[in-house]
Protein backbone atom coordinates (compact mmCIF):
# COMPACT_ATOMS: atom_id res chain seq x y z
CA UNK A 1 0.00 0.00 0.00
CA UNK A 2 2.89 2.33 0.70
CA UNK A 3 4.16 1.84 -2.86
CA UNK A 4 0.71 2.55 -4.23
CA UNK A 5 0.42 5.78 -2.26
CA UNK A 6 3.96 6.80 -3.28
CA UNK A 7 3.29 6.02 -6.96
CA UNK A 8 0.27 8.35 -7.04
CA UNK A 9 1.17 11.14 -4.61
CA UNK A 10 -1.43 13.61 -5.88
CA UNK A 11 -4.40 11.22 -5.78
CA UNK A 12 -6.77 11.76 -2.90
CA UNK A 13 -7.80 8.09 -2.96
CA UNK A 14 -6.41 4.92 -4.49
CA UNK A 15 -8.90 2.12 -5.18
CA UNK A 16 -7.72 -1.49 -5.01
CA UNK A 17 -9.80 -4.42 -6.26
CA UNK A 18 -8.92 -7.75 -4.70
CA UNK A 19 -10.17 -11.20 -3.95
CA UNK A 20 -11.24 -12.47 -0.55
CA UNK A 21 -7.96 -14.03 0.48
CA UNK A 22 -7.90 -13.79 4.29
CA UNK A 23 -4.74 -11.71 4.49
CA UNK A 24 -6.43 -8.89 2.54
CA UNK A 25 -8.76 -8.23 5.45
CA UNK A 26 -6.37 -9.09 8.26
CA UNK A 27 -6.07 -7.06 11.44
CA UNK A 28 -2.77 -5.61 10.19
CA UNK A 29 -4.33 -4.43 6.91
CA UNK A 30 -7.32 -2.90 8.69
CA UNK A 31 -4.98 -1.14 11.10
CA UNK A 32 -2.83 0.24 8.26
CA UNK A 33 -5.89 1.47 6.37
CA UNK A 34 -7.21 3.30 9.42
CA UNK A 35 -4.03 4.54 11.11
CA UNK A 36 -1.52 5.06 8.32
CA UNK A 37 -3.52 5.75 5.16
CA UNK A 38 -6.56 7.54 6.64
CA UNK A 39 -8.92 6.80 3.74
CA UNK A 40 -6.32 7.33 1.01
CA UNK A 41 -6.55 3.62 0.08
CA UNK A 42 -9.96 2.04 -0.45
CA UNK A 43 -10.33 -1.72 -0.81
CA UNK A 44 -13.05 -3.23 -3.00
CA UNK A 45 -13.57 -6.97 -2.58
CA UNK A 46 -14.78 -9.16 -5.41
CA UNK A 47 -17.76 -11.40 -4.66
CA UNK A 48 -16.59 -14.73 -3.21
CA UNK A 49 -17.12 -16.52 -6.52
CA UNK A 50 -16.83 -14.21 -9.50
CA UNK A 51 -15.42 -16.00 -12.55
CA UNK A 52 -16.47 -13.09 -14.75
CA UNK A 53 -14.01 -10.79 -12.97
CA UNK A 54 -11.35 -13.21 -11.74
CA UNK A 55 -9.13 -14.56 -14.53
CA UNK A 56 -7.92 -17.54 -12.53
CA UNK A 57 -11.52 -18.78 -12.27
CA UNK A 58 -11.73 -18.73 -16.07
CA UNK A 59 -8.51 -20.73 -16.28
CA UNK A 60 -9.81 -23.34 -13.81
CA UNK A 61 -13.08 -23.57 -15.75
CA UNK A 62 -11.19 -24.20 -19.01
CA UNK A 63 -8.89 -26.71 -17.33
CA UNK A 64 -11.90 -28.59 -16.02
CA UNK A 65 -13.75 -28.43 -19.36
CA UNK A 66 -10.76 -29.53 -21.42
CA UNK A 67 -8.90 -31.91 -19.14
CA UNK A 68 -10.39 -33.07 -15.87
CA UNK A 69 -14.10 -33.43 -16.67
CA UNK A 70 -14.91 -37.00 -17.71
CA UNK A 71 -11.26 -37.85 -18.23
CA UNK A 72 -10.29 -41.41 -19.02
CA UNK A 73 -6.81 -41.43 -17.55
CA UNK A 74 -5.87 -44.76 -16.03
CA UNK A 75 -3.53 -43.25 -13.44
CA UNK A 76 -3.15 -40.04 -11.51
CA UNK A 77 0.25 -39.61 -13.20
CA UNK A 78 -1.44 -39.59 -16.64
CA UNK A 79 -4.01 -37.05 -15.48
CA UNK A 80 -1.30 -34.78 -14.05
CA UNK A 81 0.58 -34.99 -17.37
CA UNK A 82 -2.52 -33.79 -19.20
CA UNK A 83 -3.04 -30.97 -16.69
CA UNK A 84 0.60 -29.86 -17.05
CA UNK A 85 0.37 -30.00 -20.86
CA UNK A 86 -2.77 -27.85 -20.80
CA UNK A 87 -1.19 -25.28 -18.48
CA UNK A 88 1.95 -25.11 -20.65
CA UNK A 89 -0.23 -24.61 -23.73
CA UNK A 90 -2.08 -21.64 -22.22
CA UNK A 91 0.98 -20.06 -20.58
CA UNK A 92 1.60 -17.31 -19.93
CA UNK A 93 -1.76 -16.72 -18.34
CA UNK A 94 -2.98 -13.94 -18.01
CA UNK A 95 -2.61 -12.60 -21.49
CA UNK A 96 -3.83 -15.82 -23.04
CA UNK A 97 -7.47 -16.26 -23.74
CA UNK A 98 -7.88 -19.91 -22.82
CA UNK A 99 -11.60 -19.81 -23.53
CA UNK A 100 -10.88 -19.36 -27.26
CA UNK A 101 -8.50 -22.31 -27.44
CA UNK A 102 -9.77 -25.46 -29.10
CA UNK A 103 -10.20 -28.42 -26.82
CA UNK A 104 -7.50 -31.07 -27.24
CA UNK A 105 -8.44 -34.05 -29.40
CA UNK A 106 -9.46 -37.00 -27.28
CA UNK A 107 -8.62 -40.55 -28.10
CA UNK A 108 -11.58 -42.82 -28.39
CA UNK A 109 -10.82 -46.20 -26.91
Give, for all 109 residues of the chain, the pLDDT tens digit.
Answer: 899 999 999 999 999 988 888 888 899 999 999 999 999 999 998 877 766 666 777 788 889 998 998 888 999 999 999 999 998 888 766 544 544 555 555 555 4
Residue-number span of the structural domain to which 79 is assigned? 55-100
Q: Residue 96 — left, alpha, or beta (φ > 0 → left; ψ -120 to 50 → alpha)?
A: beta
Instruction: Report if residue 108 sits inside a domain.
Output: no
Task: Produce one character per residue of 28-47: b if its CB has 16 or more CB atoms within 10 Å, e if not.
Answer: eeeeebeeebeeebeeeeee
Name 23's Cβ contacts closer than 8 Å, sequence gap at least 6: 29
Q: What is the pLDDT of residues 10-28, one digit of tens each?
A: 999 999 988 888 888 899 9
Instruction: Give the pLDDT confidence score for residue 93 in this predicted structure.
Output: 60
Instruction: Report if residue 105 sits inside a domain.
Output: no
Say how many domains are in the chain.
2
Instruction: Report if residue 25 sits inside a domain.
Output: yes
CB 72 within 8 A of CB 109: yes
Query: For residues 109 and 103, what is the distance between their CA atoms, to the nearest angstrom?
Result: 18
Instruction: Give the pLDDT confidence score for residue 87 in this predicted structure.
Output: 87
Residue 21 DSSP one-character state: -
Indicate the SS3 state at residue 108: coil
Instruction: Give the pLDDT confidence score for residue 46 in this predicted structure.
Output: 80
pTM of model > 0.85:
no
Amino acid sequence: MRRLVAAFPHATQRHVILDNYGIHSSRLVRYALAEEFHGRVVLHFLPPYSPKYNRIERLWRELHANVTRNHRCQTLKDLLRRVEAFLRRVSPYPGTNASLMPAPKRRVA
